[in-house]
Amino acid sequence: MSFPGVSIGIVRERIQTVNDEAMRQCLNACDLWAARISEAISQARPGEKAYGPQAKEVEVTEYEGYELAIWNVHTAKREGSIRKIALPLKLQPEAKELLAYFQKFNPNEYVFPFTRAKPLDYVSRVQPIFEGLTYPIDTYLVGPKGNLTKVPSHKRDFKLHALRHLRASELVEKYGFDGFNLAAYGGWTIRTASSFFGQSIPSVISRYLYLNWQGYINKLLRK
């Protein structure tokens, strides 16, 4: 998905203006991890689920001379199965900030202990940092089988979920991620991610792909 008129740089600059630290780092997490909001927050409203991490679910290691932070992100569409998000701290300053925020908590504490309503309300009403930004939605079908209604292409206001797709676009366009990398990083199914690149992979080994940060990290080690 491309975002005409919306750059990742502009979005990150706006996130950095957020006054509330918890809200700012929650948005950073959704951006950097290409995460669904339910993968960041740890409290769920009735009928919903939350998969947000505890403070202990990050480690710092060294790889090829770079200090990396590696987060365990619980993937919502796979019932909370872990995927590994590895980021070079020197090259991604937002990741360094996010790591510092995690380190303020006790190991078993949840770092974003609120429902999705809080960050959504914050960016919609309290500090509407994405005001004026939109992104395109392609034509799609809705309704029961046999009675589908076509919804024409249109623009949608930039909100929380757009961060996930904007990050995915950056990973593909700037860092050269392929379908395997994108699936491992963002938690998309192998079929969904690889279909955009004409790739395929046996489903029996797909469960291991999500733990393989070494498969994409060299693409992120660029200034």
Report residue 70's pLDDT band, with 50, 70 and 90 as the boundaries: very high
Mean pLDDT of 21-50: 97
**DSSP at 47:** T
Give the per-residue pLDDT at 206.
54
Sequence-distant (6+) residues with CB within 8 A of 222 are 91, 175
pLDDT at 119 over 90: yes
Sequence-distant (6+) residues with CB within 8 A of 182 are 168, 171, 172, 188, 193, 196
Mean pLDDT of 185-192: 77
Name the H helices within the chain.
Answer: 8-15, 21-32, 93-102, 117-121, 160-173, 179-186, 190-195, 203-209, 217-220
pLDDT at 67 over 70: yes
What phi and psi, each to the nearest 5 degrees, are found at residue 84?
A: -100, 125
Domains and CATH numbers, the chain: 8-136+151-220 (1.10.443)
Which segment, 37-51, 126-140, 169-183, is predicted with the most confidence on average? 37-51
Does the pTM surpass 0.85? The reply is yes
* C-alpha–C-alpha distance, residues 52 and 41, integer Å: 5
Looking at the chain, the whole-number percentage of residues with pLDDT higher than 90 is 68
- pLDDT tens digits, 88-100: 999 999 999 999 9
Give the per-residue pLDDT at 157.
87
Q: Is 190 helix (H, G, I), strand (E, B) or coil?
A: helix
pLDDT at 175 over 90: yes
Mean pLDDT of 33-43: 97
Please report, for residues 3, 7, 129, 172, the alpha-carbon distance to residue 14 in angstroms, rounded to integers and kept in the order given: 16, 11, 6, 22
DSSP 71-85: EEEEEGGGTTEEEEE
Report residue 152's pLDDT band, with 50, 70 and 90 as the boundaries: confident
Take residue 114 and report the two structure tokens written for it: 């609120």
- Give the number of other CB atoms < 10 A from CB of residue 55: 16
CA neighbor of 41 nearest in space, from 60, 23, 59: 23
Give the per-residue pLDDT at 153.
80
